[in-house]
Structure 1
Amino acid sequence: MLPLDLYIAILEQVPAHRTESGAVTLINCLRTSTQLRAAASLGSLWKSHYKIRYLRSSESEARQPHSGESQAQHNWYLLYAERRRKDRVALELLDQMVAQRQGRYSAAKKLAAMSFDIWDALDIECMRPVPILDGSTVSAAPYALTRRFWADAVLSAISKRFAIIQWGLLGNGGLSDGHSPSFVDAFLLLSCFFGRDGKTPLELRTQLLDLGNACRQWLEKQRCNLDPAMPEYDLPEICTKICQFMHEQGFGAVQASQFHDIENHFPHLYLTTNKQSIPISLVHIFVSIARHLGVSASPVEFPGRVLAHVPSPPGFDDFLVDVYGADTQPIVSLRDDIPIRLMRLGIPPNNLLQYVSPCGASPMLLRAARNILSSFRMLPMAQIAQSALYAAVCIHLLLTNEIPLVAHMLSHVDLDPLHCSTFLADLQPLLRGGGQQLLETSCRNSLELEEQEAVRVHPRTTQIQITHYVGMVFKHRSHNYVGCIVGWDSKCRASEQWQLQMNVQRLARGPNQPFYHVLSLDGGERYVAEDNVAPTELTGGLAQQCLQAVPILPRYFSDAFTHPESCRGRWRLSPESKFAYPDDEHFAQLYDEYGVV
């Protein structure tokens, strides 16, 4: 046995790693001798391991106390132990979701409720190794592709649920009361609807903080006085220079041809790739920087273009800032400029107050939702991003009573059972009247249909002749697109109207032939008659192309045998697909062995 301080010195050298490889060494030490256990349970040893693994928590994202961690906030060992306990629960629930479709969304609901406390564990699962797509053995968890798919889906649900709960705190016209999110924070939540493709509020808040600090340094180099107590303090000059700083950082008015780009509405994009953006987005950045510098700026719902309101010291007029038009003159006078602007818009300047008063998060969110819908009108329906549409739908449900509009929007979103059981379930209690009833009915119908589908099995029998199988790749005989079979019916189950529209009766075998549920390489979901299916080879390159183009593919498949290792190449089934089509994998193996079935 070695002295305790020597054990501690040795364990301090154990490197921290996000995948917990270093922490496992400490955990193993806890299970050995009394001396090693005493050394390994020293709180300071666990700090680096905690910091590198756990980047997010419900507390940090919401800026609210979290009882589970506050009890142990000065003991990194206890912190790590508590988070690791939650990780184990989360990963067991994830295993259930992967293994079987029945009960999947009950597990998802529990996972979503654990919020950002399990984000890191699931995020790490999304980065685990996956099989090489040639049928060879690699160091990967069973059903790695499918597991990664569901981990990512749950993270997306957690992110959306967080936004819904925070927006549900808005009151008093959206003006923050210390408990509800401010305008700046409420807008950051828009990016939550993009899951891992977006950024969490903490990441975006940090990005805005860095931008504010950079602006402070820039202003100080410009010898701009930022102390309101000093006589040199010039508020209009400071606001003008903030606009100049934003311009130097690449922020500015978007080109007219790109004004309706859907990406202009979401912070994780207009803070990075879409810095040339629309007025409301630029005002969001301006207000964040100004408040960081001690300037009480707020958005103004001015007709046509969102402006920023800045209150002046006693004895001076308040003024507005036109961030979008900052290249000309950003400072807008309430006395001289606003009446002229209103007249140009055909609005009599009778009641200036309603057009120049600062507003909170709710009116701005609703305006953002309407902007998102306007962008949709400029795009073909196939290009509409479900994430963006969900953001607009949820905002309208929360902040308006426009039930016909919301009903129309709901008809265009994918009411996936995962959504219905997680963030949409948390949205329902926040609604009133017709909105709540509409959403409850829509979600209930989706979940009931899912319960029926989850237990449905499609066995092959001698009476049912199905030529092809789930996992097969083909080219459409008429339209030449590449598709992958994810399911089949022994005959056409589509409505008569769909059959008429698709000219099913003109097919050689009409509707009384197998029809296949298909995911096409262009991202569409199709229903294809057997007459139109021309089998093709699944190569490694095509498999990779399919995974990139069809993100939902790993729900149905966990790996692939690719041509020429396999006779024709095929996807290997996920547990869900194996249950629903129990004979198809064996059927495909027979083709591999004999070339015909």
Structure 2
Amino acid sequence: MAASLESKLLGLPDELLRAVLDHIGPLSLASVQSTCRRLNAVGADPGLWEHACLTFFTWWDKHHDLENKRKDPSFKGWKQLFADRWASSQRTDRALSDLIARETNRLDRVADILNAGYDAKDVLSSAFYNSANTGMHLAQRYWSHAALGHLHRYMACEEWAYLKHRPETPNATERSFAALDMFVLGERREGDIDDIFAMLDSYAASIRDANPAIDSFTPRQKAITIAAHLLEHNWTGISDSRNYHSLDHMFLGVALFSSNRNSVPLISAIIYCYVVRQFSLEAQPISYPFHVHALVTLPSGATTDFDGQPLPSTTEPFSEHTHLYMDPFNTSDPIPASHLTSQLRFIAPTSTPNQINSYLSPASPRDLTIRAAHNILAAPSHYAGPPLFPIDINAAAFGALLALILIPPAPHPAQIQHHLSVVAQHFAFHFDHDVRLFMHHVLPAASSIPNAQAYATLVERLHARDATPKTPKRRDAPENSPVKYAVGQVFRHRIRSYLAVVYGWDGWCRMDEQWIVQNSVDRLARGRAQPFYNVLAEDESTRYVAEENVMLLTKEELAELGLVYDRFPMEIGLWFRRYDAEAGRFVSNVREEYPDD
């Protein structure tokens, strides 16, 4: 049968044989090539391997230079490129497996993933979305999510470093803002830097489709038409009566990919300016006080003004012949420069002529990103409600603070010292596996301040902690014999009634005296000598609970909760592999420290 099938296959002309090979997948194609000379020759067609590269993998690190290879008809090395890309994914897969399974040297595995660059995202994304089908469900979901975060944040800082030394990079403003989005991208499949530009280009395409003759419009007509189209589709501004200061309105990518598409004036102006530049005009936001506007200018070498009339031989600064101000957040009507100038007398009465000129001139990508970072940090204090589009507030703040440290060319020493102290806190408490980011980007920025060594010491301590195996806590040790409950058991707090799961324990209270006094431990019936448990609560907090306050749930009570693991945050995978419904408990992934649980 197999010989007959092979004979029929080889009886096909090369064109049909190639079509068959195009549908068997790249791994099978590589195997088939080794069976005979003819299949090897037909299977070596670069077109087959180009198709394999473009369909088998979604994300590519920039070092592959994929787009230029696609545009180069002379490039024939697609099979080798596939092999290189496949090897990169395999290394990432091994690193992720070790990250999940091993409790020490995880920083080395994170480094292996970062070494793969954006190639790693295929493996990490697949691991996250397919985690439910594995025996390490919770651990795989958590660590793939965490690794994606490490990758996105590191790439964002790399982007800022690149732009800092190359400020004339095309679309530098949009790239800098897109880097901020990488901090809150999480495991979403859409919303990275390339996706942001693709969505912005789709806005321009939508405008062109709706206005086929737009290239014949005057510059003023173009500017108005574009603003009107964006507002009509709710692609700029804020709709749905949402609070202006909601955190999700502060990010370019979120504004482009969320269902409501809401954005503050700064983000609306960036969207508008990018789209305007696709229609043979220049445009850049201006950092006007309290409300960012857009400035549209004529292309270099223009001989006619915004209405198609010949340009005067001389014009005054900010002349209506050469400068068109827009407020794409609110309206499609141009804003007279005289109106903006007169408004400054009220909102910035002490402004000097030079400051007024700067308010009416294009703002730099650096200044706009710094303004966005301040907006992000201030948003929660203005509106404490949940954003319509979910945003990790700690990740958002971490990105904004890093922007304030990494983007300014010469930040004020007092300011950078303050920002560094807050960044270090976020790093230590929320992003302690971002060691490479901290070493490559934060430590150089801290080198000029008096306590720079403290930040280097923090990194050294994290490395040492990561490399040091946990001391096993044996249940048969005399000091642990009173411990009644085990890692993985689920309970309700006797007094506060919250749901929690045990992820660690001590034979007695090991907190310092101040904590013991503050929490009135000695007033408990069994005091400080009873066992205490490290627990993860359903509200995402971690707590230290006295044994007398643990009310263990029965299997029947657990069954009534439905999917028990869905009652807890994703961070539960830091300590557990999966939930065992039959046993009524979570399966531990901290067996090095608690080998008997």
Q: TM-score range by the shorter chain?
A: 0.7 to 0.9
Match of 1:551 in 2: 570
Cα distance in 2, alignment partners of residues 423 and 288 from structure 1: 30
Q: Does 1:168 align with 2:166?
A: no
Match of 2:180 in 1: 190
Give deviations 1:269-312, integer Å, cap 9, x for gaps. 21133423211110111011111222210111111111112224
Maintained 8 Å contact 1:168/1:430: no
User: Which of 485, 489, 492 is 2:506 aligned to?
Assistant: 489
Call closer, same or farther: CA 1:496–1:370 in 2, change over 3 Å.
same
Match of 1:433 in 2: 448
- Aligned-partner residue type, residue 209 of structure 1: D
Maintained 8 Å contact 1:108/1:418: no
User: Which of 366, 370, 377 is 2:381 aligned to?
Assistant: 377
Give deviations 1:469-506, integer Å, cap 9, x for gaps. 11100000010000011111222222222222221111
Cα distance in 2, alignment partners of residues 324 and 245 from structure 1: 12
Cα distance in 2, alignment partners of residues 129 and 428 from structure 1: 33
Match of 1:413 in 2: 426
Q: Does 1:580 align with 2:593?
A: yes
Maintained 8 Å contact 2:488/2:585: yes
Match of 2:548 in 1: 531
Cα distance in 1, alignment partners of residues 567 and 405 from structure 2: 33
- Aligned-partner residue type, residue 353 of structure 1: N
Give deviations 1:6-56, integer Å, cap 9, x for gaps. 58745633576xxxx833322332444444444433332233332222122
Cα distance in 2, alignment partners of residues 61 and 260 from structure 1: 40
Maintained 8 Å contact 1:417/1:443: no
- Aligned-partner residue type, residue 219 of structure 1: N
- Aligned-partner residue type, residue 184 of structure 1: E
Call closer, same or farther: CA 1:417–1:214 in 2, change over 3 Å.
closer
Q: For 2:536, what is the secondary structure of its paired residue?
A: strand
User: 1:69-80 to 2 correspondence within 5 Å?
Assistant: 73-80=75-82
For residue 537 of structure 1, report the CA deviation from its aligned partner: 3.6
User: Which of 321, 345, 369 is 1:365 aligned to?
Assistant: 369
Q: For 1:28, what is the secondary structure of its paired residue?
A: helix
Q: For 2:505, what is the secondary structure of its paired residue?
A: strand
Q: Does 1:513 align with 2:521?
A: no
Match of 2:403 in 1: 395
For residue 5 of structure 1, report the CA deviation from its aligned partner: 5.6
Q: Does 1:288 align with 2:274?
A: yes
- Aligned-partner residue type, residue 406 of structure 1: H
Give deviations 1:301-333, integer Å, cap 9, x for gaps. 111111112224554231321222316x4x222
Match of 1:55 in 2: 58
For residue 437 of structure 1, report the CA deviation from its aligned partner: 5.2
Match of 1:342 in 2: 344
Cα distance in 2, alignment partners of residues 275 and 75 from structure 1: 41
Q: For 1:57, what is the secondary structure of its paired residue?
A: coil
Cα distance in 2, alignment partners of residues 208 and 190 from structure 1: 16
Maintained 8 Å contact 1:407/1:438: no
Q: For 2:129, what is the secondary structure of its paired residue?
A: coil
Match of 1:560 in 2: 579
For residue 555 of structure 1, report the CA deviation from its aligned partner: 2.4
User: 1:219-234 to 2 correspondence within 5 Å?
Assistant: 219-220=211-212, 223-224=213-214, 226-227=215-216, 233-234=217-218
Call closer, same or farther: CA 1:413–1:553 in 2, change over 3 Å.
same
- Aligned-partner residue type, residue 269 of structure 1: V
Call closer, same or farther: CA 1:468–1:116 in 2, change over 3 Å.
same
Match of 2:459 in 1: 443
Q: For 1:258, what is the secondary structure of its paired residue?
A: coil
Give deviations 1:522-576, integer Å, cap 9, x for gaps. 11111111111110146467463534641111222222221xx33xx001122xx
Cα distance in 1, alignment partners of residues 454 and 238 from structure 2: 37
Maintained 8 Å contact 2:61/2:117: yes
Match of 1:25 in 2: 28
Call closer, same or farther: CA 1:103–1:350 in 2, change over 3 Å.
closer
Maintained 8 Å contact 1:175/1:183: no
Maintained 8 Å contact 2:427/2:434: no
For residue 258 of structure 1, report the CA deviation from its aligned partner: 0.8
For residue 429 of structure 1, report the CA deviation from its aligned partner: 5.8
Cα distance in 1, alignment partners of residues 559 and 162 from structure 2: 49
Unpaired segments ≥5 residues, structure 2: 1-5, 303-310, 313-320
Q: Does 1:213 align with 2:205?
A: yes
Query: CA-atom RMSD, angstroms?
Result: 3.2
Match of 1:264 in 2: 249
Query: TM-score with structure 2 length normalisation?
Result: 0.83
Q: For 1:579, what is the secondary structure of its paired residue?
A: coil
Match of 2:336 in 1: 333
Cα distance in 2, alignment partners of residues 438 and 309 from structure 1: 45
Cα distance in 1, alignment partners of residues 498 and 173 from structure 2: 46
Match of 2:323 in 1: 318
Call closer, same or farther: CA 1:381–1:323 in 2, change over 3 Å.
closer
Cα distance in 2, alignment partners of residues 50 and 239 from structure 1: 40
Cα distance in 2, alignment partners of residues 487 and 47 from structure 1: 51
Match of 2:471 in 1: 456
Cα distance in 1, alignment partners of residues 577 and 345 from structure 2: 63
For residue 583 of structure 1, report the CA deviation from its aligned partner: 0.3
Match of 1:592 in 2: none
Amino-acid identity (%) = 20
Match of 1:137 in 2: none
Query: TM-score with structure 1 length normalisation?
Result: 0.83
